Amino acid sequence: MGVYWISAAGMGRAAIPAVFLAWKSDGNARNWRSASVKSDTENLVTIDAIRAAAARIASVAVKTPLVRAPFAGVAGHGFPREIWLKAESLQPIGSFKLRGAANKILQLTAEQVARGVITYSSGNHAQGVAYAAREVGARAVIVMPSNAPAIKRAATLALGAEVVEVGVASSERLAKAEQLVREHGYVVVPPYDDEQIIAGQGTCGLEIVEALPDVDLVLVPVSGGGLLSGVAAAVKQLRPQAKVFGVEPELAGDTAESFRKGKIVTWGAELTSRTLADGLRTQSVGKRNFAHIQAFVDGVITVTEAEIRAAMRAIVATTRLVPEPSGAVAVAALLFHAAELPDYRKAVAVVSGGNVAPELLAEVLTESAS
């Protein structure tokens, strides 16, 4: 039975109970530089736009709680650090995606609502669009990849949306959506590369600072960049001294590479589709999102598949929250990449979603720690 040893606060060594883990570290560090290149791009989302979004979506999305997470050997009793989880898994659709989708759709005109909406998504944004479209009485069409989790596809259909299936590449989803827009005149609700989507996702960051005004480190999952760009914009405009880091799977590390190189890099679908974190398989970060990331984000960390699975176990065991793999990556960074993070007293990790298939959750929770 193995125990993985991690460094807490960069001082000493502390053990995580083996129940969380089924692997051993190879000791390799992956350090990303800070965002020394800052964007001069105009039209970054303002804190006023994020506050307006919060008021707009108040009747649709919920203010999710911060849940204290005293992970053994890292935070809690006997440690000066506090770790809190932003439980976006408790949104009505089980994911943060409702925030951005609602902010976009609730601003449509009556003529646009009558035309219907369309998006392209592997599942969580699909549900957000379907839910918000139902609120305003709009038809919702969702282009989904063939490898989307069945639980997310079923939930999208249950919300009244129509699903069009294509191949696994995010580029295929976009191309099909554009074709259907030309044919039917639908209004596109992009999953991330849109100011209204970014402002909607930014309400998550607004709530973090309102609930924990002295937060000094925020970690956010990243794929297309909607959540990271919005949360970072809110946090940095309200508490500039706080550090914000994006986290993504090592097997889908396009944002980390883009951040290092100072330009958007695209990874092939055959690469990004390898990760268990189906919500983080986007092939490149959005242009608007990358501008926000360059302006507001301090670093991007990648985590392994084993770390993601271990973080899922740790979250369930410590807080009783249920994360999907994509929702566990920020916690994985806190647990296993302390050396790559700045010192902190109060950290928040965003658990972006909890839409995990029961059989996958059972598999992860019952893995042998050997």
H or E segment to which residue 14 belongs = strand 11-15
Q: In what order do the strands lie in the sheet with 162-166?
A: 162-166, 140-145, 117-120, 187-188
Decide: 326 and 123 in contact? Cβ < 8 Å.
no
Pairwise CA distance, residues 286 & 188, whole Å: 15
Pairwise CA distance, residues 156 & 129, whole Å: 9
Give the tokens for residue 203. Answer: 């309400």
Domain boundaries, given as residue ranges, for the chain? 5-90+195-365, 97-188
H or E segment to which residue 219 belongs = strand 217-221
Write the pLDDT tens digit of every residue in 26-59: 333 333 333 333 444 458 999 999 999 999 999 9
Minimum mean pLDDT range among 10-14, 33-37, 107-111, 317-321: 10-14
Q: What is the per-residue pLDDT for 193? A: 95
Model confidence band, residue 24 (pLDDT cutoffs 50, 70, 90): very low
Look at domain 5-90+195-365 and name its CATH class.
Answer: alpha beta
Q: What is the per-residue pLDDT for 369? A: 55
CA nearest neighbour of 305 among 21, 31, 75? 21
Model confidence band, residue 62 (pLDDT cutoffs 50, 70, 90): very high
pTM of the entire predicted model? 0.87
Fold of 97-188: Rossmann fold (3.40.50)
Work out the average pLDDT over 4-26.
35
CB burial readout 191-219, b (16+ within 10 A) else e: bbbbbbbbbbbbbbbbbbbeebeebbbbb
Residue 109 has pLDDT above 50, yes or no: yes
Angle at alpha carbon of residue 358, lines to 356 and 361, rounded to 5°: 70
pLDDT greater at residue 53 or residue 19: 53
Reply yes or no on whether 243 is catalytic.
no
Write the pLDDT tens digit of every residue in 209-221: 999 999 999 999 9
Q: What is the per-residue pLDDT for 325? A: 97
Write the pLDDT tens digit of every residue in 267-298: 998 999 999 999 999 899 999 999 999 999 99
H or E segment to which residue 144 belongs = strand 140-145
Angle at alpha carbon of residue 243, lines to 237 and 266, rounded to 5°: 95
Reply yes or no on whether 89 is catalytic.
no
Residue 76 has pLDDT above 80, yes or no: no
Among the residues of 265-342, which ranges form H helices? 269-272, 287-296, 305-319, 329-336
β-pair partners for 218? 244, 348
In the chain, the percentage of residues whose pLDDT exceeds 70 is 88
Work out the average pLDDT over 312-318.
97
Write the pLDDT tens digit of every residue in 156-207: 999 999 999 999 887 888 899 999 999 999 999 999 999 999 999 999 999 9
**Active-site residue, selected from the candidate residues 86, 95, 97, 243:** 97
Work out the average pLDDT over 86-112.
98
Same fold flag, 5-90+195-365 and 97-188? yes
Minimum mean pLDDT range among 1-10, 248-257, 323-332, 342-351: 1-10
Model confidence band, residue 150 (pLDDT cutoffs 50, 70, 90): confident
Decide: 345 and 81 in contact? Cβ < 8 Å.
yes
SS3 state of residue 322: coil
Q: What is the mean pLDDT of the chain?
A: 88
CA distances from 222 to 110, 149, 228, 283, 284 (A): 33, 19, 6, 11, 10
